[in-house]
């Protein structure tokens, strides 16, 4: 058991026994049950996530910052992503694995198709893309060809230079209406999940009830169908952590305990609190 060196009694109850699929997640939404997502990058943490009952692991291009030491996600390449998706897929056989498509690898539908296929062949079961209306055709194309898609709206880090920094999005009415309209459009185009990053909690709640596919919030309040955090933030490894994150190691005895605490707090609706949300 190569990835089992960080055992904790607190992780033994919730181990995933069945492969999580898109259908599982849609069923959880229709039952009103929250699910848990962690952005992580290696086989060991991926195995721990499976033991802690984390339904979805995201191999995020945040690895550009958390693993590779870049200042943003923009330098991340397909080769970086494939390397880490392969590692995560070796460690976890039960959670649904989403792989990010990095900056400028899906600028056209054909680029998206080619690069999404590579991420899927590396072991992902879904790809994630950042952007709104302009991606509808791409989402439709991928979905029609059997590639599940997770959309990503609100603060989209690959557009940091266009957005003028890592800022909360959707605070003015026009921007909020645009995000809501984009969410509906992408869901209708065939997206299976949507990440909502750094938007007001009320807007995220409105989107969550307006669309039939699950929403995954990060800095989007507690009324989304799921939550995602980056493993480095959960474990207190980030020097200046974002206010929407939380160091769960402060409330646990060990690393598996911290992961388990995150899982149980999301499922119980305890995390995120008001202090981790934007109004
Ligand atoms: O890259 C990433 O890890 C992400 C999440 C923070 C949503 O996109």
Task: For residue range 8-66, list pLDDT tens digits in order.
Answer: 444 446 899 999 999 999 999 999 999 999 999 999 999 999 999 999 999 999 999 99
d(CA 94, CA 55): 8
175 alpha carbon to ligand 1 midpoint, in Å?
Answer: 21
Q: Residue 5 pLDDT more than 50?
A: no
Q: Please tell me the chain's helix, strand, coil percentages from 3-state DSSP, rounded to the nearest 5.
A: 45, 15, 40
Place of tokens 């709104």: 132
User: What pLDDT is attached to residue 245?
Assistant: 97
Cβ(228)–Cβ(59) under 8 Å? no
Residue closest by Cα to atom 2 of ligand 1: 60
Best of 57, 64, 128, 159 for a ligand 1 pocket test (most atoms within 8 Å of beta carbon): 128
Residue in 188, 186, 183, 185 with CA at minimum distance from that of residue 203: 183
Confidence of residue 189 (pLDDT cuts 50, 70, 90): very high
d(CA 248, CA 159): 29
Q: Stretch 70-76: mean pLDDT, rounded?
A: 98
Confidence of residue 271 (pLDDT cuts 50, 70, 90): very high
Residue in 72, 79, 40, 68 with CA at minimum distance from that of residue 56: 40
Give me the domains of the chain, ranges plus CATH numbers.
Answer: 22-276 (3.20.20.60)
**CB atoms inside a 10 Å sphere around CB 231:** 25
pLDDT digit string (tens) for 192-237? Answer: 999 999 999 999 999 999 999 999 999 999 999 999 999 999 999 9
CA distances in angstroms from 189 to 32, 53, 182, 192, listed in the order given: 24, 30, 10, 9
User: What pLDDT is attached to residue 10?
Assistant: 46
Q: Stretch 236-253: mean pLDDT, rounded?
A: 96
Structural Rg of the chain based on CA atoms: 17
**Mean pLDDT across the chain:** 95
Confidence of residue 1 (pLDDT cuts 50, 70, 90): very low
**CB atoms inside a 10 Å sphere around CB 81:** 27
9 alpha carbon to ligand 1 midpoint, in Å?
Answer: 29
Residues 6 or more apart whose Cβ sits within 8 Å of residue 121:
none
Q: Report the nearest atom of ligand 1 relative to the CA of 157.
A: 8
7 alpha carbon to ligand 1 midpoint, in Å?
Answer: 26
Structure tokens, 208: 């969550």
Best of 36, 42, 58 for a ligand 1 pocket test (most atoms within 8 Å of beta carbon): 58
Residues annotated as catalytic (active site), given as ranges: 197
Residue closest by Cα to atom 3 of ligand 1: 60
User: What pLDDT is attached to residue 13?
Assistant: 61
User: What pLDDT is attached to residue 155?
Assistant: 98
HEC-encoded secondary structure of 35-58: EEEEECCCHHHHHHHHHCCCCEEE
DSSP state of 214: P
Q: Stretch 84-112: mean pLDDT, rounded?
A: 98
Q: Say yes or no: CB of residue 259 within 6 Å of ligand 1.
A: no
d(CA 214, CA 261): 22
For the chain, percent of residues with pLDDT exceeding 70: 95
Q: Residue 6 pLDDT more than 80?
A: no
Q: Compute CA 91 distance to the chain's CA centroid, rounded to the nearest angstrom.
A: 18
The alpha carbon torsion through 271, 211, 20, 198 (nearest 10 deg) reads: -40
Q: Residue 7 pLDDT more than 90?
A: no
């Amino acid at each position: 058991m190569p990835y089992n060196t960080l055992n904790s009694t607190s992780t033994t109850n919730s181990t995933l026994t069945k492969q999580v699929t898109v259908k599982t997640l849609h069923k959880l939404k229709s039952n009103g049950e929250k699910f848990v997502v962690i952005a992580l990058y290696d086989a060991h943490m991926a195995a721990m996530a499976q033991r802690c009952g984390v339904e979805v692991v995201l191999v995020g291009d945040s690895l550009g910052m958390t693993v590779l030491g870049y200042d943003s996600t923009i330098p991340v390449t397909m080769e970086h992503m494939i390397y880490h998706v392969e590692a995560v897929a070796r460690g976890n056989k039960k959670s649904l694995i989403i792989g990010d498509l990095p900056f400028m690898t899906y600028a056209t539908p054909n680029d998206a198709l080619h690069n999404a296929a590579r991420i899927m062949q590396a072991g992902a079961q879904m790809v994630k893309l950042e952007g709104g209306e302009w991606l509808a055709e791409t989402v439709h194309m991928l979905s029609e060809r059997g590639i599940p898609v997770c959309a990503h709206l609100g603060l989209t880090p690959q557009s940091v230079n266009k957005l003028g920094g890592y800022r909360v999005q959707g605070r003015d009415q026009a921007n909020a209406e645009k995000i809501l309209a984009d969410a509906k459009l992408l869901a209708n185009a065939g997206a299976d999940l949507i990440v909502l990053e750094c938007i007001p909690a009320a807007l995220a709640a409105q989107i969550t009830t307006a669309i039939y596919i699950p929403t995954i919030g990060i800095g989007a309040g507690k009324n989304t169908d799921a939550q995602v955090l980056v493993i480095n933030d959960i474990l207190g490894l980030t020097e200046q952590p974002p206010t929407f994150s939380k160091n769960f190691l402060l409330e646990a005895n060990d690393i598996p305990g911290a992961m388990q605490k995150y899982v149980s707090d999301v499922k119980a609706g305890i995390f995120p609190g008001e202090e981790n949300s934007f109004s």
